[in-house]
Amino acid sequence: MFKNALALLGLSTAFVYLASGTQVPLGHESLVHPAFPNYAVRLKQSDEFCDGNVNTYTGYIDIEARHLFFYFFESRNDPDTDDVIFWTNGGPGCSSSLGLFMELGPCRVTKPNATTYNPYGWNDNANIFFIDQPVGVGFSYADYGEYVSTTEEAAQDIASFVAIFFEHFSKFKGRSFHMAGESYGGRYIPAFAAAIYDQNTALVNAGLTPINLTSIMIGNGCSEDVSMTLSYYDMQCQPISVDPVTDIATCVQMKRILPRCEKLLKESCVDTFDAINCAAANTFCRTAISGPFRATGYNPYDLSKLCEGELGDTLCYPITKQIRQFLDQPELRKLIGVDPSITNNFSSCNPEVGGRFHGALDSFFPTPFYISALLDRGIKTLLYVGANDWICNWVGNERMSLALEWTGKDAFNEIPLKEWKVKGEVAGLTRSSGGLSFVTIYGAGHMVPYDQPQISLEMLKRWLANEDF
């Protein structure tokens, strides 16, 4: 059966063999490649898992002592020609199982021990993998307690992951490759894509096929902290997407604080990265601007709804508890090849990982610099945002898009927002020029494919086909 799987994947048996001395669980093969002597792939074919209509693979890419877990689903349309998509959730520290089993995967968890077919999965016409990253997130782990605390450190593991992935899944070499992420993925994806773009030079020099990085897609991204923090006032105090949810007196107080916050954050976190003063400014501004919203009881991921359950327990969505219970099943873990050393209960988000990133003030790195550099190198960028989101909202994302310093800035900024439609119905607003597209989706919050699955799939198809919105 495994030889058949290799043939399906296009793996070259001349470059695939068992790692010497590696302990491999029964039914779980370990592959290495001479170009990557310190790396390996542990692979399991699990076609009865999630979507029985496509080839499905799960496992680990082992990067020395760090082990990144992934799920890979071939396209329902034509896996031999369709593009490849990389997906990561954010946090920082949250598992991509949320994106897989709640949003855009080929199935959705509907009970603690069951899934249902998702007709709007993004593998409808693309091959897609979901990764638990960085180490310590989901089923990913490190042998000796290694960890990363910045996006730039994580980017090196991801660049290695992607290079090894395409070397082993060789039939996908040369395909258009799109990197997508949500929420803190707005920080992750530009840095990860930049690392992969730069790594291509080394791959070519080593006689390997470079990664055909084509675009990045950021859903409800928090890519730039200052404009996003200031935009919280707009979302909760003005009828931007829904009626104001914060009382007038508090909004007036917040309005007076905005200029001070902008000045403090710009001086301490942007112009000079003064860690102590930046942390102090961030704490002050978050308390003054975010605090009042937290007190309302509304869902920070969807302003049109109250939070269901405790934010720290359910993320305001009870389905997240079902996903955790689903992934705690011993037989399910065995089926998908989770390393036997992982015996703890599944956690959707790892607070220790998030704490390290926040402690390093990682979110204040000028991520828009990466987006601008990628655009100027021909890498298309899609910024899509559910209109009802508060935490990584469309107002902050639009401001960030208009402030990007790239050669197409003037042309992009001159274009007014216009409506875009799906099946004759207005789906949101959009602005596109020179490889950069900004899109809002009405009726959706932070997790667009969860709230508007049909519209999100149509958006993806147009993007992959280079069609206008």
Return d(Cα 275, Cα 277) in angstroms, integer.
Answer: 6
**Chain mean pLDDT for the chain:** 90
More confident residue, 29 or 367: 367
The pLDDT tens digits for 423-464 are 999 999 999 999 999 999 999 999 999 999 999 999 999 999
In the chain, the amino acid numbered 285 is: C
Q: What is the number of structural domains in the chain?
A: 2
pTM score: 0.92
The pLDDT tens digits for 80-129 are 999 999 999 999 999 999 999 999 999 999 999 999 999 999 999 999 99
The predicted pLDDT at position 30 comes to 63
pLDDT band of residue 349 (cuts 50, 70, 90) is very high
Question: From residue 83, how far is each of 124, 129, 188, 464 by CA, in Å?
Answer: 11, 11, 21, 8
Total Cβ atoms within 10 A of residue 461: 14
- Indicate if 62 and 136 belong to the same structural domain: yes
Strands 436-441 and 380-386: parallel
Q: Is residue 151 part of a domain?
A: yes
- Indicate if 220 and 245 belong to the same structural domain: no
Q: What are phi and psi of 265, to 5 degrees?
A: -65, -40
Cβ(422)–Cβ(269) under 8 Å?
no
- Of the candidates 348, 346, 344, the one whose C-alpha atom is nearest the C-alpha of residue 314 is 348
Q: Please, what is the angle between helix 275-285 and helix 225-237, to 10°? A: 10
Element (H, E) at 231: helix 225-237
The predicted pLDDT at position 167 comes to 87
- Indicate if 246 and 301 belong to the same structural domain: yes
- Indicate if 212 and 238 belong to the same structural domain: no
Across 250-270, average pLDDT: 94
User: Which domain range does residue 449 map to?
Assistant: 41-225+364-464
Q: Is residue 5 part of a domain?
A: no
Cβ(337)–Cβ(25) under 8 Å?
yes
Q: Please, what is the angle between helix 248-265 and helix 275-285, to 10°? A: 170
- Of the candidates 83, 90, 89, the one whose C-alpha atom is nearest the C-alpha of residue 101 is 89
Q: Which residues are catalytic?
A: 183, 389, 446
Q: Is residue 107 part of a domain?
A: yes
Partner residues linked to 88 by β-bridges: 181
pLDDT band of residue 43 (cuts 50, 70, 90) is confident
| CATH code assigned at 295 | 1.10.287.410
Q: How far is CA 298 from the centre of its chain?
A: 24
Cβ(121)–Cβ(104) under 8 Å?
yes
The pLDDT tens digits for 306-343 are 999 888 888 999 999 999 999 999 999 999 999 999 99
The predicted pLDDT at position 31 comes to 67
Across 382-388, average pLDDT: 98
C-alpha neighbours within 13 Å on the C-beta side of residue 13: 7
Q: Is residue 14 part of a domain?
A: no
235: exposed, middle or buried (C-beta count within 10 Å: 0-12, 13-18, 19+)?
buried
Percent of the chain predicted with pLDDT > 90: 78
| CATH code assigned at 156 | 3.40.50.1820
The predicted pLDDT at position 28 comes to 53
